[in-house]
């Protein structure tokens, strides 16, 4: 679960990883990776203030499972 959406400065990722290797990748609307963050907490905040306004795709992968979610940066 990713919230708030839309977001302006921070996103919170609520996730209970099955492994300690969970990684979040953020891609812009043309498919370029703009961030990669290792998750260390079950409710981790990610700063997105440095991203331009627009639509992004967040991919989470922990080695066993993966999930994709869109979010808007305002």
Residue-range domain boundaries for the chain:
2-73
Q: For residue range 20-59, what is the model confidence (pLDDT) as tens digits?
A: 788 999 999 999 999 999 988 888 999 999 999 999 999 9
Residues 6+ away with beta carbon under 8 Å from 58:
2, 11, 13, 24, 25, 26, 27, 68, 69, 70, 71
The CATH-assigned architecture of domain 2-73 is Sandwich (2.60)
pLDDT of residue 1: 85
pLDDT of residue 19: 66
Contact 43, 14 (CB under 8 A): yes
Confidence class for position 17, pLDDT limits 50, 70, 90? low
Residue 18 confidence (pLDDT) above 80: no
Quote the CA–CA distance of 62 and 6 in Å, as a whole number.
25
Beta bridge partners of 51: none
Place of tokens 């992004």: 56
């Amino acid at each position: 679960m990713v919230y708030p959406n839309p977001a302006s400065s921070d996103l919170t990722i609520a996730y209970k990883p099955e492994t300690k290797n969970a990684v979040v990748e953020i891609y812009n609307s043309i498919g370029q990776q703009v961030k990669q963050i290792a998750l260390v907490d079950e409710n981790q905040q990610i700063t997105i203030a440095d991203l331009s306004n627009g639509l992004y795709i967040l991919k989470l992968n922990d080695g066993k499972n993966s999930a994709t979610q869109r979010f808007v940066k305002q």
